[in-house]
Structure 1
Amino acid sequence: MATTTDPAAQVPALDSDAGAPQAHPGTARARVPSRFPYRTISMGTIGSVLLLLGALGAGGVLIRDPVIGTGPLSWVRYGHGRMLANAVLYAGFGLVVWAWVRLGRYMLAGRIGSRPIVIAAACWMAPLIISPPLFTRDVFSYLGQGAQLLHGLDPYAHGPAELETLPNVVQNVHPVWQTTPAPYGPLFLLVAKGVVALTGDNVIAGVIVTRLVLLLGLGAMLWALPRLVRHLGGKLPITMWLAVASPMTVIHLVGGPHNDLLMLGFLTIGVLAALERKHALAIALVTLGMLIKPTAAVALPFLVWVWANHLSGESRVRNFLKAGAASVGIFAVVFVLGTWVSLGSFNLGWVTGLQAPTLVTNWVNFPTGLGQIAYTLVHLVINVPESPFVTVARALAMLTLAVFAVRQWWRSRFGGNEAIFRMAMTLLATAILAPPTLPWYLTWGFVVAAAFPWRRRHLAVVVGVAVFLVMAYYPTGEQALYDWWFVVVTIALGVYAAASLLRPDPLGLIGAWRRPAAGSVAEGGGVSA
């Protein structure tokens, strides 16, 4: 991603109503395809349906499933049946990624605008609304914690295992989180409580209703992103392709599902409000986002600079103090009322609950990976435990993150787009350096960053990273990061997908494809290098 003003380095402007490029005189007879990528969208939709079907056997299935259970279809969850389900699921994932890359090439060639991209994302998401959870079991924890709040237990003091009612909900919570306090904001627990109040012990209905509620966050993003693009200088088709149609959103945030989607809705509208000088609303919205997912709080100090720079007056210090005092006051009111309404009391137990995710250790979290490497080297010489190495590495990373965040905040003191850019980078750094790093955490800053200008090669990097981050976990929700052959294959597929964005079939593996003539573009095709 880059904010450079070098037009040669950036993706060409793609208006939402971009038409077909004029054919070169020498290619007047070349076939001019439809402007609407029906085949590409259909390919991704078929892939999404395969994800749904494969997830019935290989996804985050229920311990006691009232649909398949021990009936005639139960074979898809055992032995060769499970292998077949995994094959179907990964085939579906491959088709979704392939369609996304083809859509990206079509977009970069100036053949489509943002509307077909949004339609494609909607088609790819639709089958996943009723799918078992994909690549995670977090939604079962959401329901378990909502059930605790519904039945009078404090989710910040007890794990779902303490709940004696709603056994179907409780037994599907992952064993790691059965006795762990909730790490989510109180407003989200209120949302989860409402879902469980509606669906009771019906876990399948609970998962579907949770997805439908979280889609409100996607709707907020869809409303805010076009307006953010106008402020931040990006291109709307690229932004929608990155932030809405990406497998990170389609498969992780919706297929998961993850409450990050709802937080991102508040965050994007809040950032837009700040840029449009509605600063009190901006602070209130981002605070509400924090009450969903606490990491939204990282954005608040940057919005103070935006507010200060919109104030009239000659004294920058006085403007900052005014904006800071007003922001703190609005934050305090929204935070206290939001917590009180959600929990029935001013319960700050959720702050200590933030320690729960640190139980997850894997090398996707950069400092954890460094600690594990150091442990491995030392362990070759002497028998030592791993935890001290990981703990020290994480502590150093948190210190690094603090220095980075303060530096980015200070460099944002002139407000404007630069403050928003540095806010997005700090959110990304938080996802990478603070333990743990779960794949969908990178969407925190990435969705806002998508509204800035991008270079082609950086878009290709995003493709490779997105493929890896989806496949970093097995469809069941268990991590795949220490299955080294699987990791190697995943990285290779990610690199191939990244290269395919810039050049169709970069290894010549599909030689039967008809390459478009120079200057012409077929659906999903690219442009000559």
Structure 2
Amino acid sequence: MATTTDPAPEAVTGLGDASVPRTREPSRFPYRTISMGTIGSVLLLLGALGAGGILIRDPVIGTGPLSWVRYGHGQILANVILYTGFALVVWAWVRLGRYMLAGRVGTRPILIAAACWMGPLLVAPPLFTRDVFSYLGQGAQLLHGLNPYAHGPAELEILPNIVQNVHPVWQTTPAPYGPLFLLVAKGVVALTGDNVIAGVIVMRLVLLLGLGAMVWALPKLVRRLGGKLPITMWLAVASPMTVIHLIGGPHNDVLMLGFLTLGVLAVLERKHAVGIALVTIGMLIKPTAAVALPFLVWVWANHLPGENRVRNFLRAGALSVGIFAVVFVLGTWVSLGSFNLGWVTGLQAPTLVTNWLNFPTGIGQAVHTLVNLVITVPESPFVTVARLLAWGALAVFLARQWWKSRFGGNEAVFRMAMALLATAILAPPTLPWYLTWGFVVASAFPWRRRHLAVVVGVAVFLVMAYYPTGEQALYDWWFVVISIAIGVYAAASLLRPDPLGLIGAWRRQRPPAPVEEGGQIPAA
């Protein structure tokens, strides 16, 4: 008789192409796996109250009887609870992936799982980041007539609760986000005022619109790009990168990705003007979306009739530039009340972040470490030179990918995804959630199992690359080694349950069942 609960993990096998499961078992709704991840999400919520991005002055816990969870042994316990929750979410995601690859679950259970895992995090303190406080601070500046592109939130005196929770690095730093997102942040602060907890929750609810757009667009992109919808949803929606970073964070990247996926879909469906406008709106939220626009011009050009490719390209390019200019100017004017390009110079602010997760920064730091063994020299020249070289390499890579996209179609979209990934890795800074820029689009293409396993390992490591408080953990080398080991184990677990044989060894070591007199094993 078929059960309605999870299949046994040991039964999920097969290492071939992920798009063609070796055997297809009867569908079973993964109640236990979804419940496991939901319990993990609740633990993340509880642990974040003491170990997450907590407020300087918290009106909920404050100095009350529960304030002990934020100090000493109480905070250690909160971290244990939080990382236990993280482990359960990852475990549930990997189990769900195995069932998906075995053909035992489809898209619906994956989306239900993602919703259940995100639900508790909607009201949690920020996880693994404090960026949302900067969003609120910059929105408050715009609300009260101050220019977020000229000064940081520290100049704001009217909303002290918001300002004091902005990370010290960003207190005096101009906003690096597009004007349309600042308009969104302004609306959130207008609604919630100086109530930071309400501001974080409402910001998450607004950013869910981007997730909704992704969920709507991705099925149609999958049909055009040749992927498998369950795999796409498992990668782009149920992943810890989305659940914990983009929603639990939260990060405005998810709103940009919503417009990006809608725009790419519109261009592929020959709604070219609409697609260019949508991606431009995405750029007005987070400027990275601009990387996609030149690739979409090729798609448009190849949809035009006639065999004169140069003329078609010039026509598509001219129309794209015109649409971009109109949307860009109107979006900036509506958001800021004037055509203010100060946000372009604000893009330099994130380069203050230096860590080896950004590949050229890591090389510069490594060279400096070696040179410093011989002579004491400052680090900054090494990092600066490495970053300049990386900018050159990125320019060459983007140009090459763009030229290879000249025949349009799926090839152009794939190379666009690679360009977004390269931008996240080579352009300073590289923050863990930046890799979702390319992964979300790439998720709609066909995937092999071993590549999915690599994504699992990378995703787990990228979540752990920052402490729950939002401070980077990349120079805590023992923690980094442990994080890499956990990521490798999670990756291996996607391909086969219990890759180290720990559960099997435990079962073999259990004492045999007692035998009654007469040699009969007692009934269960």
Question: Would you say same fold, with TM above 0.5?
Answer: yes
Say which SS state the counterpart of residue 504 (structure 2) adopts.
coil
Instruction: State how 1:244-393 maps to structure 2 within 5 Å.
Output: 244-393=237-386
Q: Do structure 1's residue 20 and structure 2's residue 25 form an aligned pair? A: yes
What is the identity, as a one-letter code, of the residue corresponding to 2:250? P
Which residue, out of 192, 198, 204, partners 2:197?
Answer: 204
Instruction: Provide the C-alpha distance between the structure 2 equivalents of 1:20 and 1:366, rounded to a whole number of angstroms.
Output: 43
Note the residue ranges of structure 1 that are not aligned, 5 or more in a row: 1-7, 22-33, 516-529
Which residue, out of 162, 170, 173, partners 1:180?
Answer: 173
Say which SS state the counterpart of residue 256 (structure 1) adopts.
coil
On the 8 A contact 2:46/2:81 being kept in 1, the answer is yes
Instruction: Provide the C-alpha distance between the structure 1 equivalents of 2:341 and 2:423, rounded to a whole number of angstroms.
Output: 22
Task: Give the RMSD, CA atoms, in angstroms.
Answer: 1.4
Instruction: Provide the C-alpha distance between the structure 1 equivalents of 2:197 and 2:67, rounded to a whole number of angstroms.
Output: 17
CA shift for structure 1 position 512: 7.4
Instruction: Provide the C-alpha distance between the structure 1 equivalents of 2:321 and 2:483, rounded to a whole number of angstroms.
Output: 45
What is the identity, as a one-letter code, of the residue corresponding to 1:10? D
Instruction: Provide the C-alpha distance between the structure 2 equivalents of 1:146 and 1:291, rounded to a whole number of angstroms.
Output: 15
Q: Which residue of 1 aligns with 2:512?
A: none
CA shift for structure 1 position 20: 3.0
Q: Which residue of 1 aligns with 2:388?
A: 395
CA shift for structure 1 position 511: 2.4
Q: Do structure 1's residue 163 and structure 2's residue 168 form an aligned pair? A: no
Say which SS state the counterpart of residue 511 (structure 1) adopts.
helix
Q: Do structure 1's residue 90 and structure 2's residue 83 form an aligned pair? A: yes
Q: Which residue of 2 aligns with 1:418?
A: 411
Instruction: Provide the C-alpha distance between the structure 2 equivalents of 1:279 and 1:60, rounded to a whole number of angstroms.
Output: 42
On the 8 A contact 1:19/1:112 being kept in 2, the answer is no
CA shift for structure 1 position 12: 3.1
TM-score by length of 1: 0.92
Deviating runs (4+, > 2 A) in structure 1? 18-21, 511-515
Instruction: Provide the C-alpha distance between the structure 2 equivalents of 1:95 and 1:298, rounded to a whole number of angstroms.
Output: 36
Q: Do structure 1's residue 74 and structure 2's residue 81 form an aligned pair? A: no
What is the identity, as a one-letter code, of the residue corresponding to 2:464? M
Q: Which residue of 1 aligns with 2:17?
A: 10
Which residue, out of 487, 495, 500, partners 2:493?
Answer: 500
On the 8 A contact 1:13/1:235 being kept in 2, the answer is no
Instruction: Provide the C-alpha distance between the structure 2 equivalents of 1:91 and 1:117, rounded to a whole number of angstroms.
Output: 22
Greater relative contact order (Cα < 8 A, sep 6+): 1
CA shift for structure 1 position 508: 1.2
Instruction: Provide the C-alpha distance between the structure 2 equivalents of 1:297 and 1:82, rounded to a whole number of angstroms.
Output: 42
Identity %: 87
Cα shift readout 1:167-208 (whole Å, capped 9, x = no counterpart): 000000000000000000000000000000000000000000
Instruction: State how 1:469-484 maps to structure 2 within 5 Å.
Output: 469-484=462-477
Instruction: Provide the C-alpha distance between the structure 2 equivalents of 1:108 and 1:512, rounded to a whole number of angstroms.
Output: 26
Cα shift readout 1:447-468 (whole Å, capped 9, x = no counterpart): 0000000010000000000010
Instruction: Provide the C-alpha distance between the structure 2 equivalents of 1:457 and 1:143, rounded to a whole number of angstroms.
Output: 41
Which residue, out of 480, 485, 489, partners 1:487?
Answer: 480
Instruction: Provide the C-alpha distance between the structure 1 equivalents of 2:95 and 2:463, rounded to a whole number of angstroms.
Output: 18
Which residue, out of 416, 433, 439, partners 1:440?
Answer: 433
CA shift for structure 1 position 513: 8.6
Which residue, out of 22, 33, 37, partners 1:44?
Answer: 37
Instruction: Provide the C-alpha distance between the structure 2 equivalents of 1:123 and 1:512, rounded to a whole number of angstroms.
Output: 33
CA shift for structure 1 position 495: 0.4
Instruction: Provide the C-alpha distance between the structure 2 equivalents of 1:299 and 1:148, rounded to a whole number of angstroms.
Output: 30
Distance 1:514 1:325, change over 3 A: farther
On the 8 A contact 2:19/2:227 being kept in 1, the answer is no
On the 8 A contact 1:266/1:286 being kept in 2, the answer is yes
Q: Do structure 1's residue 216 and structure 2's residue 221 form an aligned pair? A: no
On the 8 A contact 2:51/2:82 being kept in 1, the answer is yes
Note the residue ranges of structure 2 that are not aligned, 5 or more in a row: 1-14, 509-524
Cα shift readout 1:306-327 (whole Å, capped 9, x = no counterpart): 0000000120000000000000
Instruction: Provide the C-alpha distance between the structure 2 equivalents of 1:19 and 1:514, rounded to a whole number of angstroms.
Output: 28
On the 8 A contact 2:19/2:446 being kept in 1, the answer is no
What is the identity, as a one-letter code, of the residue corresponding to 1:63? I
On the 8 A contact 1:11/1:454 being kept in 2, the answer is yes
CA shift for structure 1 position 122: 0.3
CA shift for structure 1 position 9: 5.4
CA shift for structure 1 position 113: 0.6
Instruction: Provide the C-alpha distance between the structure 2 equivalents of 1:354 and 1:9, rounded to a whole number of angstroms.
Output: 43
Cα shift readout 1:309-351 (whole Å, capped 9, x = no counterpart): 0000120000000000000000000000000000000000000
What is the identity, as a one-letter code, of the residue corresponding to 1:511? G
Cα shift readout 1:19-71 (whole Å, capped 9, x = no counterpart): 735xxxxxxxxxxxx71000000000000000000000000000000000000
Instruction: Provide the C-alpha distance between the structure 2 equivalents of 1:13 and 1:339, rounded to a whole number of angstroms.
Output: 47
Q: Do structure 1's residue 237 and structure 2's residue 266 form an aligned pair? A: no
Instruction: Provide the C-alpha distance between the structure 2 equivalents of 1:347 and 1:336, rounded to a whole number of angstroms.
Output: 9
Distance 1:374 1:352, change over 3 A: same
What is the identity, as a one-letter code, of the residue corresponding to 2:226? G
Cα shift readout 1:209-231 (whole Å, capped 9, x = no counterpart): 00000000000000000000000
Instruction: Provide the C-alpha distance between the structure 1 equivalents of 2:352 and 2:284, rounded to a whole number of angstroms.
Output: 22
Cα shift readout 1:64-94 (whole Å, capped 9, x = no counterpart): 0000000000000000000000000000000
Instruction: Provide the C-alpha distance between the structure 2 equivalents of 1:399 and 1:92, rounded to a whole number of angstroms.
Output: 42
TM-score by length of 2: 0.93
What is the identity, as a one-letter code, of the residue corresponding to 1:335? F
CA shift for structure 1 position 382: 0.4
Q: Do structure 1's residue 109 and structure 2's residue 102 form an aligned pair? A: yes
CA shift for structure 1 position 281: 0.3
On the 8 A contact 1:104/1:241 being kept in 2, the answer is yes
Q: Which residue of 1 aligns with 2:522?
A: none
